[in-house]
Structure 1
């Protein structure tokens, strides 16, 4: 397995751990449909939250949150709707958050942006 994939998986694990530490419940990880994949779907105690995880080994080539363009945000919104429909989640809207992780020694620093779209 290449280092990029390994870093990404470690970042997603760290993001899930971070959310659990916040008291959130992880509902699903790496949910896929023909249109794409959601990294993490969680529940924050009030509503479902789709979490996109962006992991970098350093900020040398930019902050991981810079990878969320308007097109990517729109795609995440569509995928969140697809997930909600597939799981019968109706009524309350599904929020989309982004977690930017940067390797920091043996762990990661986490930047959490809420309600990006």
Structure 2
């Protein structure tokens, strides 16, 4: 079980859908997605995107309700610190140190109908 009693495969598919929604949201606003679901031994970055001259590392949190709080509330200080470490590792592996960097969180709230609301917090870490 995952996400408050939701079966893992359902939680995973909701999460995947949320990431698709987040990518479309970013692209509609002029971001260029350069990497998705990048993994290393320290964890995973959901989305890496370029917005003008800024490289943006995005954590996507998806939920089907606000019952346990809004999706963005799931990014606690320890998670933000891990995102900073992952971003540094990504930069080392891709040799892009000379860009402005930002870490954002996108909360996706998915309704039963499939409609989704996106909350975008910029510069969280």
Q: What TM-score comes out, normalization by structure 1 length?
A: 0.96
Runs in 1 of length 4+ with deviation above 3 angstroms? none
After TM superposition, the structure 1 = structure 2 runs for residues 58-73 of structure 1, keeping only pairs within 5 Å, are 58-73=65-80
Please list every run of 5 or more consecutive structure 1 residues that lacks an aligned counterpart in the other structure.
none
RMSD: 1.1
Q: Do the aligned partners of 2:34 and 2:48 also contact (CA within 8 Å) in 1? A: yes
| Cα distance in structure 1, aligned partners of 2:53 and 2:100 | 11
After TM superposition, the structure 1 = structure 2 runs for residues 9-48 of structure 1, keeping only pairs within 5 Å, are 9-48=16-55
| Cα distance in structure 2, aligned partners of 1:82 and 1:47 | 17
Q: What TM-score comes out, normalization by structure 2 length?
A: 0.90
Please list every run of 5 or more consecutive structure 2 residues that lacks an aligned counterpart in the other structure.
1-7
Alignment of 1:112 with 2:120, yes or no, is yes
1:78 to 74, 85, 92: 85
| Cα distance in structure 2, aligned partners of 1:66 and 1:37 | 19
CA deviation digits over 1:55-104, x for unaligned, max 9? 00010111111111111000000100100110001123421000001013
| Cα distance in structure 1, aligned partners of 2:117 and 2:13 | 17
Q: How many residues align?
A: 117
